[in-house]
């Protein structure tokens, strides 16, 4: 469970008392539950990318010795890496959308 902020509901939205304003309170810097879930997924993707990149670098170092044996595996790793990059871009857009929704909800942007 993430940071619980006064006024935050389980869906990541905020309820303010009548006349209460968020300007200056720092809620725009608070990560909502939705943002937290998106960031967790992005960390998972990054954790999947690291070993692929390391393996690709290792294969590149051995290409001179046995390029015909290494090439199919390198191509497969490149394809996997490209798929993870596409997923990353999708989650990056979801994060931007979630941040935009939060800013609208807080009244810092027009809907």
Give tens-digit pLDDT for 14-56: 555 444 445 555 655 788 899 999 999 999 999 999 999 999 8
Between 10 and 40, the higher pLDDT residue: 40
d(CA 52, CA 80) in angstroms, rounded, equals 8
Residue 110 has pLDDT above 90, yes or no: no
For the chain, state the CA radius of gyration. 21
Q: Quick check: is 13 in a domain?
A: no
Q: Quick check: is 84 in a domain?
A: yes
Q: Quick check: is 17 in a domain?
A: no
Tokens at 108, concatenated:
């810092």
Q: Quick check: is 111 in a domain?
A: no
Residue appearing with tokens 């890496």: 81
- Could you tell me the residue range of the domain that residue 91 belongs to? 29-105
d(CA 100, CA 106) in angstroms, rounded, equals 10
Q: Quick check: is 11 in a domain?
A: no
Q: Quick check: is 56 in a domain?
A: yes
Residue appearing with tokens 């999708």: 90
pTM to 2 decimal places: 0.67
Q: Quick check: is 96 in a domain?
A: yes
pLDDT at 58: 87
d(CA 59, CA 55) in angstroms, rounded, equals 6
Residues in the chain: 111
Please state the domain count of the chain. 1
Q: Quick check: is 9 in a domain?
A: no
């Amino acid at each position: 469970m993430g940071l619980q902020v006064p006024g935050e509901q389980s869906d990541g939205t905020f309820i303010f008392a009548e006349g209460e304003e968020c300007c200056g309170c720092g809620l725009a810097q608070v990560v909502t539950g939705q943002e937290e879930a998106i960031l967790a997924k992005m960390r998972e993707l990054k954790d999947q990318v690291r070993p692929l990149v390391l393996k690709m670098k290792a294969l590149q170092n051995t290409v001179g010795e046995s390029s015909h044996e290494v090439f199919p595996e390198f191509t497969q790793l490149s394809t996997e890496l490209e798929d993870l990059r596409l997923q990353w871009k999708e989650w990056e857009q979801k994060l931007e959308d979630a941040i935009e929704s939060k800013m609208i909800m807080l009244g810092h942007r027009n809907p």
